[in-house]
Structure 1
Amino acid sequence: MRPSKSTALNASLTLIAAAILAACGSDSDRPSTPSVTLSGVVTAASFTPGSATDPTLAPTYYVGAKVCVDADGNGVCDASEHPVVTDAQGRFSLTVPANAALIADIGTDATLSATGAKVASRDVLRASLDQVLDQGGQVVISPLSSEVQRLVEANGSSYAIEKQTVATRIGVSLDKVLADVNTVSGADQAAMLAESKALDNRFTYAITKLDRGDLYPDALAVPGGDPRLAGAANVTASTAPAGTDTRARITFAQAQQAAFNLEGIPRYDHLFIVMLENKATLSIKGSPWAPKINALLASGNQLTSYYATGNPSEPNYTALGGADDFGITDDSQWNCDATGANAVQDLPLPDKTQPGLASSPFNATCTQAAAVNHNIVGKPNLFNAITAAGMTWRTYSESMNPGQDFRTDSVADAAVTAADNVYAPGTLNGNTVAVGNAGLTLPMPAGLYKTKHHPGMAYQNVRSAPEFRYSNRTMGGGQWDANLKNSSAYAMPANYDIDQLGTDLASGKVGTLNFLVPDQCDDMHGISVIGKLAGGGTATASDCGSVANNVAQSSAANIITRGDNYVDALVKKIQASPLWKNPAKRVAIVLMFDEGSATSGFNSCCGWNVSNSAVSKPLIVDPKTGVVTVDASINNYTKGNRGHGQSIFGILTNQADAPKGVSDGDAYSHFSFVRTLQDMFQLADPAVDASYMNRSKYTEKFIAANILNLPEYAGSADTHFDAVRAINHAWQAPASYTQKQSADVNTPAQIGPDAVQTNVWALKK
């Protein structure tokens, strides 16, 4: 029987360990053994924050890193393993009894050759035995070499297969992917650096878990529920598995895998979030007006009990950007009631010469009844977190005025016109005749692009970030695209790209995290447009046109159909891209709505209705001490987090082997989604509550531990329903538990655990 690769490798390491120990004896006792000399370098990607474009990454070497044969597989170059130390050019040379896998143990006394900066946290990188043999003793130890070996172990495959996988993922040739990145140039180097930075974040975190002695797996990834809840006070009918916590201290090998699967959420390379508007599950699920979205839902996975945080739009988009609505309950502009410590600090100011801004650079109409600050200062959010990790984000918005400031709503432009949409027979629920008016010309209306629909707009530190302008981009496919060249509202910028999303999809320059925001005609929101008839006169086209003038069709059905067609075209555009077609890249599309429509019932899952308390404020946690305090910096916080029912949430993935057709019936929310994204891109640490932004840290354990600081729970707590958990399907409801739901669905409430215990994000069946 042929031994497995791992068995053979362990045997090799055992022999090497024995030889090393034998070599420690006296000269007379030391046996004569053959030896080989392994030389090479340990490489890294140096990250400089503050770029106005994509992250500034440069090739570098690790200076002062230990290199050894990790004979006992503990992820440490022990003194008994006779490590050598890399020199000022990251070079090493060590003599060992035989070829073997190597590790680079990069401690906090090591530095980067490019900058001299000290390593902030211990890191361990690897080169497999197969790589050592492949590179002929001139070994490059890097995040990329570590990833190849991690994939070999994760997939039970071979070095040759996974080396090709990594090369294909980042688009470089097989001969370069494990080369010294300092000797590679151009696009190949840029691709290697970007991937190396993302990987090294993970490998550093793996060692944090190892050195800290984490239990394996993460608590919120344990099937059946959080084992830390067993016997915990203040938890309603504990969901923890029976008995004691059976998890053991994590090993080096487990830590490297766990770092790529936080709380059961695998790493994705790119995520596209398509944002739609104001439709409850009942309005879309099975609707004859949305056959394409329903087909997409059936072909992918979906959450069937997904909750908004509030009504109208702005609180939901703000919550999607940072896991809280901060008491916002209206669509007022982001600078409303921004006073004192929360005053607007944007630079540069919007140009006063732009339409609608002549009187003030931040002129706004504020509609809220009470003083609620709309400029969120100093709060963590996905955008800043992505940037700080050396990754990229994009917000693509449809139908902007060419040249406008992203911080202002779009304005009407009579010079930009479009014909009314005309739907062919069969397009609208089997219509037998064409729908629409070909003789109606519609000028571009105001408000197609709205800042309230930008998930990062409320955050001062996002709008002020160096990359803000660069990372906000256009998205085509709109009714007025063809004539945007005639724009008269602003000076048309040179080489203006109406569809930067299309350009970026072709080049692969999309972000790690991408929000795709259709305009108010294509997102199912709808606005009225006064158009001109071919024979003279005007006509008001409510919901952006194509109102049925010859069949019985409601305006509401029309706007759903518009959105259905737009989403279908948008998904097809993404799926036609080289990015999606690259099976080595893990890419997903989320189709979701900002809110449902329910105004009664249980609408605020996974972030309770704080209006139950007049004194409740959000809790903040000191990341160093773990001390929990009340954040009193937000005015009228209790007005927010009211919920607005349930809506559609669908997931499509380019992974052929991923499970499809999964419907997860557990309750999730915008806060759960933000927690999931933090796990997906390794922006937080499950062992540190403070690392999860705002309400995304409110797990069942956190709620139970801090119940006295949450007075809205008095006499009415349901820690199951209100807890925030990653969308991983690990939680299992008690058999008798009846899940709450709003009037936005017409199916019976789920009782007990979901029938299909499958992770909707899984990469493999």
Structure 2
Amino acid sequence: MRHSKSTALNASLTLVAAAILAACGSDSDTQSTSVTINGVVTATSFTAGSATDPTIAPAYYVGAKVCADANGNGVCDTTETSAVTDAKGHFSLTMPANAALIADIGTDATLSTTGAKIASRDVLRASLDQVMEQAGNVVISPLSSEVQRLVEANGTSYAVEKQTVATRIGVSLANVLADASTVTGAEQAALLAEAKALDNRFTYAITKLDRGDLYPDALATPGGDPRLAGAANVSTATAPTGTDARTKITFAQSQQAAFALEGVPRYDHIFIVMLENKATLSIKGSPWAPKINALLAAGNQLTSYYATGNPSEPNYTALGGADDFGITDDSQWNCDATGANAVQDLPVPDKTQPGLASSPFAASCTQTAAVNHNIVGKPNLFNAITAAGMTWRTYSESMNPGQDFRTDSVADAAVTAADNVYAPGTINNNTAAVGTSGLTLPMPAGLYKTKHHPGMAYQNVRSAPEFKYSNRTMGGGQWDANMKAGTAYAVPASYDVDQLGTDLASGKVGTLNFLVPDQCDDMHGISVIGKLANGTTATASDCGSVANNVAQSSAANIITRGDNYVDALVKKIQASALWKNPAKRVAIVLMFDEGNATSGFNSCCGWNVSNSAVSKPVVVDAKTGAVTVDASVNNYTKGNRGHGESIFGILTNQADAPKGVSDGDAYSHFSFVRTLQDMFQLADPAVDASYMNRSKYTEKFIAANILNLPEYAGSADTHFDSVRAINHAWKAPANYTQKQSADVNTAAQIGADTVQTSVWALKK
């Protein structure tokens, strides 16, 4: 009987495919020939609140219209015959044999697993090639839509892009366009994770279409934001002239635009390598950093990138959520956290808690500045990534085994390493550490610091179910070999000193990954005291502020140490199957939290330092667009106002991506956060409220809300003072002189870059 059913099904498939082929091959019969197509429209059911990877289950769209979209407008028009999916997402439709197939999923449709109504209209597609291939049971899904989108974007074929998608997510060609409920194990998990991310994009595409957006997004328009032409409160030197040449977006354009918000393409994974306290002047062309300079030359660069402030903590906080909230120091995250900003993760991880006898965390903390360090209820990248069904990781080097991630690491005399010594005169030839001084170094306190965690200040990140799971170790450090001998904390069984290496091998890295070396390898520096064989104490030669009988200066030593670590870390990522998968889009960012400017003009892109009298930040109502003052932030005026320029380099695994591109426009940490929101489709360029904190401060936003933003009232250059996505779209006028901070010794650039290619571009 089983053989008989199989034979009947195969016969049915053959007849349907033959009918389609016959119609496609006959000019006279094309319009009159019809076929009956059966299939399903699949969905994903995402359950928030997982303590591990996102919980995503297979589901179906119930009550969705399926039709042949003859005019390609992304709607099942009343003139187009349609079928409605049943409780299992199934449809049966008699349609013209040569038309595109779409599922028009309206807000009256529901999700099969929960019965919840669909919040926003969505449209999914299946190409004619797929209909022919799956004639008896066509699966319309986010992945089928992506295959067709890629065909249109790249001018390729169904077969090529089907293989591309299968290769990207690591599933078999046979399963990549299957109903996920019929697939099991790792392949099902991969299908569901990708389907969730894709469906977010396709839903957004229809939002753009139905809203009548202009194409492309304003900040992706070559030359600058066309909405600023003739606008009040905008600097005339940089404002565009002429009319807005954009037109209303089409269905096809909306699908492409959803994968490149403000001109920033979607990446599958990004690794952000965080380094410390070195300005452009300290690294660019330095003989002590030949490897970083080689990486910069091999990739793309931002040549005018500004930190948020000084010292570290406000910069990392800004990288996590596009504001420093008035923080100007490195104090622990519970300082002055009172009232509405009181700490909620109680008990705090101090030494009174089981297993934390060595914890350096102080249960209470007050300061003269009275600036709250616990940010409550504010949006950030970590929560946004999780809410979208994607994943994040922070990988930190030189953790004490068994410590709480919310505390700084402590000294452990049982964990030792040999001192590094660099051979004088060989650094220019790319020589790594050679030999040792005979000095034995115990693991010092403070190799890992919570001030260097971009999510630590945010209460809703520390309270998130996935916080512990998503914080992981990173190897490559001086003390790795003996880490498991530690006695400061109880060492967990099977403790993994290098979870980054493990995750690269398995492919289980996050969508967003912050890589944080320890305070020796990140060029920050701490004092490490060790002993020679005769018992004499001495200071490590390459991690502190004191040179120990080495021909190089201590500054050169720590730069060289960091240079070697970055080189090894990048090579480790590039050796992974993840990086070597050409269908995956992977990027590595090399950046510093701050420069070292101490005087002069040091800021841009979110702060106007010449007139920073703002008393409170502002919030935007997502429904009405109304801008109001946020009274919940205490002593906001004490926040930083920038700290000069530093290195920002971008490497991608895309063989066809442009290399050697330098973007000379001014950007900041706020700009980077805006860019990441675009890259992972966490925001909507048409809705200011969707961008977190100061990343909403575009030139148009500043101009429209100048009365609520007193720090911008005296802006002499609203372009320079505003936040933009990092996309190289703005073209400086020929006579425009770029501002730069006091820690840059090159001449200020005049006019536009020679090449305006995006540093994120996936192909030339």
Which band: TM-score by shorter chain? over 0.9
Matches within 5 A, 1:29-44: 33-44=32-43
Note closer, same or farther for the CA distance 1:289–1:684 as it changes in structure 2 (3 Å cut).
same
Counterpart check, 1:275 vs 2:292: no
Tell me if the contact between 1:88 and 1:113 (Cα under 8 Å) persists in the aligned partners. Answer: yes
Deviation sequence 1:328-373 (CA, Å, 0-9, x none): 1100001100001000001464263469976999516858541100
Counterpart check, 1:589 vs 2:580: no
In the other structure, the counterpart of 1:755 is 754
In the other structure, the counterpart of 1:403 is 402
CA–CA distance in structure 2, aligned partners of residues 190 and 645 of structure 1: 44
Tell me if the contact between 1:336 and 1:364 (Cα under 8 Å) persists in the aligned partners. Answer: no
CA–CA distance in structure 2, aligned partners of residues 36 and 175 of structure 1: 24
Tell me if the contact between 1:423 and 1:435 (Cα under 8 Å) persists in the aligned partners. Answer: yes
Task: Give the partner amino acid of 1:385.
Answer: A
Deviation at 1:400, TM superposition (A): 0.2
Deviation at 1:543, TM superposition (A): 4.7
Matches within 5 A, 1:138-217: 138-217=137-216
Matches within 5 A, 1:311-330: 311-330=310-329
Note closer, same or farther for the CA distance 1:546–1:314 as it changes in structure 2 (3 Å cut).
closer
TM-score (ref. length: structure 2): 0.94
In the other structure, the counterpart of 2:457 is 458
In the other structure, the counterpart of 2:727 is 728
In the other structure, the counterpart of 2:520 is 521
Secondary structure at 1:315's aligned position in 2?
helix
Deviation at 1:244, TM superposition (A): 1.1
Matches within 5 A, 1:43-442: 43-237=42-236, 239-347=238-346, 349-350=348-349, 352-353=351-352, 363=362, 369-423=368-422, 427-429=426-428, 437-442=436-441
Note closer, same or farther for the CA distance 1:570–1:329 as it changes in structure 2 (3 Å cut).
same
Secondary structure at 1:267's aligned position in 2?
coil
Tell me if the contact between 1:729 and 1:758 (Cα under 8 Å) persists in the aligned partners. Answer: yes
CA–CA distance in structure 2, aligned partners of residues 271 and 293 of structure 1: 18
Task: Give the partner amino acid of 1:111.
Answer: T
Deviation at 1:540, TM superposition (A): 2.2
CA–CA distance in structure 2, aligned partners of residues 79 and 244 of structure 1: 36
Tell me if the contact between 1:333 and 1:364 (Cα under 8 Å) persists in the aligned partners. Answer: no
Deviation sequence 1:444-484 (CA, Å, 0-9, x none): 00000000000000000000000000000000000000001
Deviation at 1:641, TM superposition (A): 3.2
CA–CA distance in structure 2, aligned partners of residues 432 and 261 of structure 1: 41
Task: Give the partner amino acid of 2:135.
Answer: G
CA–CA distance in structure 1, aligned partners of residues 51 and 33 of structure 2: 55
Tell me if the contact between 2:608 and 2:715 (Cα under 8 Å) persists in the aligned partners. Answer: no
Deviation sequence 1:248-287 (CA, Å, 0-9, x none): 1100000000000000000000000000000000000000
CA–CA distance in structure 2, aligned partners of residues 84 and 432 of structure 1: 69
Deviation at 1:508, TM superposition (A): 0.4
In the other structure, the counterpart of 2:690 is 691
Note closer, same or farther for the CA distance 1:354–1:566 as it changes in structure 2 (3 Å cut).
farther
Task: Give the partner amino acid of 2:503.
Answer: D
Tell me if the contact between 1:398 and 1:449 (Cα under 8 Å) persists in the aligned partners. Answer: yes
Secondary structure at 1:228's aligned position in 2?
helix
Secondary structure at 1:46's aligned position in 2?
strand
Deviation at 1:433, TM superposition (A): 12
Work out the percentage of aligned pairs sharing the same amino acid.
Answer: 88
CA–CA distance in structure 2, aligned partners of residues 154 and 275 of structure 1: 34
Note closer, same or farther for the CA distance 1:554–1:762 as it changes in structure 2 (3 Å cut).
same
Deviation sequence 1:210-259 (CA, Å, 0-9, x none): 00000000000000000000100010116454321111110000000000
Note closer, same or farther for the CA distance 1:635–1:360 as it changes in structure 2 (3 Å cut).
farther
Deviation at 1:307, TM superposition (A): 0.1
In the other structure, the counterpart of 1:745 is 744
Deviation sequence 1:488-537 (CA, Å, 0-9, x none): 01111111111000000000000000000000010000111110101222
Counterpart check, 1:496 vs 2:495: yes
Task: Give the partner amino acid of 2:443.
Answer: M
Deviation at 1:424, TM superposition (A): 5.1
Task: Give the partner amino acid of 1:313.
Answer: S
Counterpart check, 1:556 vs 2:555: yes
Deviation at 1:140, TM superposition (A): 0.4
Deviation at 1:636, TM superposition (A): 1.2
CA–CA distance in structure 2, aligned partners of residues 379 and 73 of structure 1: 41
CA–CA distance in structure 2, aligned partners of residues 702 and 728 of structure 1: 18
In the other structure, the counterpart of 2:574 is 575
TM-score (ref. length: structure 1): 0.94
Tell me if the contact between 2:611 and 2:714 (Cα under 8 Å) persists in the aligned partners. Answer: no
Tell me if the contact between 1:437 and 1:546 (Cα under 8 Å) persists in the aligned partners. Answer: no
Task: Give the partner amino acid of 1:54.
Answer: D
Note closer, same or farther for the CA distance 1:241–1:399 as it changes in structure 2 (3 Å cut).
same
Secondary structure at 1:43's aligned position in 2?
strand
CA–CA distance in structure 1, aligned partners of residues 88 and 433 of structure 2: 71
In the other structure, the counterpart of 1:627 is 626
In the other structure, the counterpart of 2:597 is 598
Structure 1 spans left out of the alignment, 5+ residues: 1-7, 20-32
Secondary structure at 2:79's aligned position in 1?
helix
Counterpart check, 1:539 vs 2:538: yes
CA–CA distance in structure 1, aligned partners of residues 734 and 452 of structure 2: 40
Secondary structure at 1:266's aligned position in 2?
coil
CA–CA distance in structure 1, aligned partners of residues 172 and 483 of structure 2: 41
Note closer, same or farther for the CA distance 1:621–1:756 as it changes in structure 2 (3 Å cut).
same
CA–CA distance in structure 2, aligned partners of residues 392 and 561 of structure 1: 33
Matches within 5 A, 1:6-17: none
Tell me if the contact between 1:16 and 1:97 (Cα under 8 Å) persists in the aligned partners. Answer: no
CA–CA distance in structure 1, aligned partners of residues 230 and 28 of structure 2: 48
Aligned residues: CA RMSD = 2.4
Task: Give the partner amino acid of 1:55.
Answer: P
CA–CA distance in structure 2, aligned partners of residues 700 and 339 of structure 1: 34
CA–CA distance in structure 2, aligned partners of residues 390 and 713 of structure 1: 37
In the other structure, the counterpart of 1:701 is 700
Deviation at 1:125, TM superposition (A): 0.3
Deviation at 1:630, TM superposition (A): 1.1
Residue range with higher mean Cα deviation, 609-618 or 500-509:
609-618
In the other structure, the counterpart of 1:662 is 661
Residue range with higher mean Cα deviation, 665-674 or 89-98:
89-98
CA–CA distance in structure 2, aligned partners of residues 12 and 169 of structure 1: 31
Deviation at 1:160, TM superposition (A): 0.3
CA–CA distance in structure 2, aligned partners of residues 511 and 560 of structure 1: 28
Task: Give the partner amino acid of 1:650.
Answer: G
Deviation at 1:571, TM superposition (A): 0.1
Note closer, same or farther for the CA distance 1:633–1:13 as it changes in structure 2 (3 Å cut).
farther
Deviation at 1:552, TM superposition (A): 2.1
In the other structure, the counterpart of 1:28 is none
In the other structure, the counterpart of 1:3 is none
Secondary structure at 1:675's aligned position in 2?
helix
